[in-house]
Structure 1
Amino acid sequence: MNERIFVIEDDENIQEIVKLSLESNGYQVTLFDNAIDAIKVIHEDSPDLAIFDVMLPQMDGITAVKKIRESNGHMPILILSAKDSEVDKIRGLDSGSDDYMTKPFGVLELCARVRTLLRRAKPKSKAIQTPTLSIDKSTHIVKKNDIIIDLTHKEYQLLLYLIENKERVVERDELLNNIWGYDFIGESRALDVHIRSLRKKFDDDGEKYIKTIRSVGYRFIEKEDIYD
């Protein structure tokens, strides 16, 4: 079955360009001109991926993504916006989106990003268990010693990526590229903020779970991991 993609965009010309580009790559595309209608359908029948514009009537795309993330933590979301400042990108990514692409855009790059997001979304395993942590990849529930830890979508992605690459040091640019998207390579403040937040939530002094490797990146260090 071909992956289903919802495109939430009120500009008819951009709607048509995105629809034709995605359909030519074999995807099933459904168009919406406002976020409210899209959210209703997503709650009832979640697609494989959603593409949101930011400037939408009735409800903006950032607010829509936040509302979706309250109940749907796994569906990949790409923001496609004319707002191209660093602040706008950080705001969009921190809302819970998985990638942020600015207009004007190239259709080949758009399709490449869609393929990447869909590939990342396919679970390699259902659960991860370490001596003190458990991660249910189907529900995105993270527990420490059987106590649920409330993580944002980006914090969850960051922790999961570090654990799944625990056998090596993960460089900063790799984390920025894989968690925040192409446009954030080299921009470190978003990563620093989320590392500090994760450490605070896990009572981590930098030696318990996420170890800083100076001038390189980070490594998850808890031993005896068991993958289910």
Structure 2
Amino acid sequence: MQKKFVIIDNDELLNNLIEEQVSIVFEKNFNIKFLKTHNINSLNVLDTIDLIIVNFKFIKDNYNIFINLANEKKSKIIVIFDNHVDISQFKKFNNFNFVVKPFRLKQIIDIMQDFFISYETHQKYIKISRDLIFRPETKTLLNKNKVINLTEKESRLLNFILENKENVIKKDEILINVWGITERINTHTLETHIYSLKKKLDAFEYHHSFICSDNLGGYYFNKLMK
């Protein structure tokens, strides 16, 4: 599932750095679109954006727009401040995250990672087969006869495989998207979690392997045809 992302700032260097890092880490998860403050003619476009990085000066000039966005919780908002600015006036908005210059790009990447994980876990359910359901929010697999709990990593792993069920997914793609780019996880850990997840799926006794590997070591979702 792709999400929409926008940055509203006139700092060209910052825009380019964020764009590069976001493209590397979230290429499959986000439709990436960068807007600049002096190019925005209609702020209604912001209603369709999931995550916004915005310079505090733009909020000062368009305060009501961002109050509405924060109250309606339509968008995750990251506000960038200069280091001499008092940010206390923005603290009442729980939906805002704040970064102060100078900052590390990892701060923004971590916020975006948390946002995407939160989005994943608030989906209601995903159908794996005709009567087998996966609920990310409760981390459970269930059909009419049985309920099995998943660990957090198993839930995120299954969710990512199902999101990419038309493709063979390389191991490094899974490691980046499920464990996060900052974690040092080897392929043995991934294989252990795949094995554990497959055992839990097998417990429903469909006599079918939902997760398979190809001859190059990638993984893919194997749909149950009947």
Structure 2 length-normalised TM:
0.48
Structure number with higher relative contact order (C-alpha < 8 Å, ≥ 6 residues apart): 1
